[in-house]
Each structure stands twice: as C-alpha cells, then as structure tokens.
Homo-oligomer: A and B are copies of this chain.
Amino acid sequence: MTLARGRDSVRAPMTVQLEPVPVHVPLPLGFRAAGLHCGLKKAGQFDLGLLLADEPVAAAAIYTQNQLVGAHIHVCRDHLTRSGGRVRAVLVNARNANCATGEQGIADARTCCRALAERLRCPEEQVLMLSTGPIGAPLPTQRIVTHLEALVAQASVDGAMDFARAIMTTDTYPKALHAATTSRTTGFAKGSGMIHPNMATMLGFLLTDGRTQSTGATEQLLRNVADRSFHRVTVDGDTSPNDTLVLLASGRSAGTDLEGAVTGLAQRLARTIAADGEGATRLVTIEVRGARTEAEATAVGRVIATSPLVKTAVAGRDPNWGRILSAAGRAGVTFPAERARVWVGAADVYSGGKPHPENEPLAHRHLVEDTLVTLGVDLAVGTASADVWTCDFTKDYVQINADYRS
C-alpha cells in the first residue's frame, strides 16, 4: 500500500477518437513550449512542461471550486494579483498534485517559481506553476528545480507536443489543438477522470496571439469561454482539488472575434476530454433545446450527463428515453413533461406525452454503430439551448477506479 493517490495509472488506448492524435501543433506568435522527463513518472515519460512567452503577456486563470485546493492555486492567485495579470512562463508538473501538503507544499511551489524566474530574469510573480497527479505526497522540488535550465534551453516554437505529453496523467493521448483565423490559438488539456464542470475539472491552457484590452477583459474572456466549453463537460461528476484553466494572450496579432475563436477551440478540447473519459466507449453530446435560458439548458444537460442510469444505458446501447426524461426532470428546472420531446440520434423516442417504440430500432442502431452519440431533450418552454458533453459509463470505469491501488 502506498501513500500517493491519483490518476496516473496506465490505461488501454481510447475507443473514441475525435481527431487524429497530432504529430505537430503550431504555437501562436510570441510563445514557445517544452517538455522533458525530470524523474516523477517512469523513466523516459515526460513529466515537466513549460509554456514560455517572449515577453510578459496578458493572463487570467480560473480554478477549482473545491474546498480542498492544491498548493499551486494559492501561488497562482497570489502571482496573478501581484503581477497585474502579466505572465512570462507557466511551469507544469505531472505525477504529483502538491495537494494536502500543507504550508510546505505552498513553499515548494514558490521555490519552483522563484528558481524559474531567476533563470528567466523576470519577477517571480510573472511565473505560474500548476501540478497534477496523486495527492498527499510532498513535491520532489529538487528534481524539478535541477531540470529547469534544460527545460528553458529546450523551449521552442515546435515544443507544443512535448508540453502536451508532459502534462498527461491517465489520459490515453496528448490533447493539443490549434486553430488559425485572424489570430492563432493553441490549446492543451489533460484529464480523463474526476471531470466535472466549474473548473474542478482538469488542467487547461489556452494560448492566443490575439489582443485583450485590459486585465479585466482577459478575465472576462476566460470566464465566457469556460462557461461554454470546459464547464459543459463531465466524466463522473467528481471534481479535483487542483484543476485550473489558464489563458495567455500575447497580443501579437490584432484578430477579430477573439472570443469566438478561443471558444471554438476550447469546445473541441473539452470534447476530447469526454471522449477520453475513463472506460469510455462513446462520446455523448447532450442537446438541450427549448429552454427558458441558456443557464437552465446547461443545468438540465449537466444532470443528464452525470446520471449513472443514462450513462450505463448508453454503455448498454439502450435508447432509454425514460432515464433521459427522468434525469431532465430532476435538474431543478420546471417544464411540462407531457409536452417535452426526447431523441436519440435522429430517432424521436418520446413526444406528445408518449414513447415511440416504433422508432427505437433506429435509435438503437445509432448507439451501436456510432461512437459519437447524441441524446436530446426539448423542454418546450422557450428558445434557449445548450450542448453538454460526457461519455458512457462502463464496467471499465469501475475497474479503473476500484482497482486503482492494486
């Protein structure tokens, strides 16, 4: 029996793959990245990553809502306040969450930031650090610090995939995506269990060379993006004490519709998290339509997306309208069940207050044949809508999480 806990077990490859695992992902103008092995994971596996801006850039972060928070969150909050939202570098380690480590944990995170700031000749508050992995064990600070020089030396415009690999825990593939419009945006994420909205989710990094007008505007941009992306993905309803989403904007290009571009990329990233959910065989998009407000639509979508009965039904390829409607019905949102509509893929399985068994073979085939599955409900009380993403709930999820210690 060991002390350390967390999500670093080795998993079989994923069933659901949304896009090919990228060989190379470009970075926006003004950024470099790196990743290497510093001795936290098994030999040869990257476990320390760096995002480096050429100059201090606009930055914002949002954090877990959990009462238990990792040491890095104290330090990130403090540094962003002291720097006025300007950041040169973001350091990330995997295989140790530096959580439930008391005052020493906070001191350890500060030591790492300070050591990196010295090498970069920048104020320490312009360095952020994030940790992910098992909780309860002291951070091996020395192993990290002794590798900072190599990490900085290695940082390059071609380093995105090295960084993406360094932040993986139980992820079965590195999650890095790029989109170019009038600005360029690159996003990274890690996480495949303990995934639930409200930034108790995962580590996420959004880099753009677009321009924000103020610190307040950077923070507002990040909140708007998260509300429509990472806050709409759930694997198991459980949340982690460490999870953090960071936005860095270098301002090197003057692109238009920055929010649209970053939101689009963040949604694609969020979907990769659900697709790579522990034990998942289906990426499930919950479409909520006909709601009074987007917030109510999201609330209904989240309850359906976390329902064990809905998620086991998808695992069993069962177009179970009763479970979907029952889950919608307990979201705290009023609607007339007799006027609601439920669909599975293209098949209308409940409407007019009645099930439609004649359409169930079509719905069943959708669940059997497609790995990207759609479940929908129309609440018939308005025109607002939201999509929420989740995965099916299989025996493999239980196995992964029950057998974690063995």
Contacts and interface: CB of A to CB of B under 8 A. Distances in A.
B5 A65 contact: no
Interface stretch (A24-32, A116-124, A231-239, A248-256): A231-239
Contacts of A68: 325-326, 328-329, 337
A307 B100 contact: no
A101 B352 CA distance: 10
B308 A238 contact: yes
Contacts of A333: 67
Given A316-B405, A398-B315, A67 B335 contact: yes
Given A1-B357, A316-B406, A401-B312, A306 B66 contact: no
A291 to B, nearest CB: 13
A interface bracket (residues with beta carbon within 8 Å of B):
35 or more
Interface in A325-368: 325-330, 333-338, 350, 353-355, 357, 360-361, 364
A122 to B, nearest CB: 31
A321 B315 CA distance: 29
Contacts of A306: 237
A23 interface: no
Nearest to A318: B405
State the main secondary structure of chain A at its contact with B.
loop
B404 A316 contact: yes
A241 interface: yes
Nearest to A405: B318
A260 interface: no
A350 B100 CA distance: 9
A394 B401 contact: no
A67 B309 contact: no
B402 A313 contact: yes
A241 B326 contact: yes
A2 to B, nearest CB: 8
A205 interface: no
A325 B394 contact: no
A403 interface: yes
Identify the interface centre among A238, A361, A364: most chain B CB within 10 Å of its CB: A238
A268 interface: no
Given A238-B307, A329-B241, A316 B67 contact: no
A136 interface: yes
Interface in A51-74: 65-69
B100 A354 contact: yes
Contact of A402 (B101, B315, B335, B401): B315
A271 to B, nearest CB: 21
A333 B67 CA distance: 8
A186 to B, nearest CB: 30
A230 interface: no
Contacts of A66: 326, 329-330
A286 interface: no
Contacts of A1: 357, 360-361, 364
Interface in A114-137: 134-136
A193 B310 CA distance: 13
A200 interface: yes
B406 A402 contact: no
B406 A326 contact: no
Given A194-B309, A313-B401, 5 more contacts: A66-B326, A67-B334, A69-B337, A316-B402, A397-B398
21 contacts: A1-B357, A1-B364, A2-B357, A3-B355, A3-B357, A5-B322, A65-B330, A67-B333, A67-B336, A68-B325, A68-B326, A68-B329, A100-B353, A102-B354, A135-B322, A136-B355, A241-B329, A312-B398, A313-B401, A320-B405, A398-B398
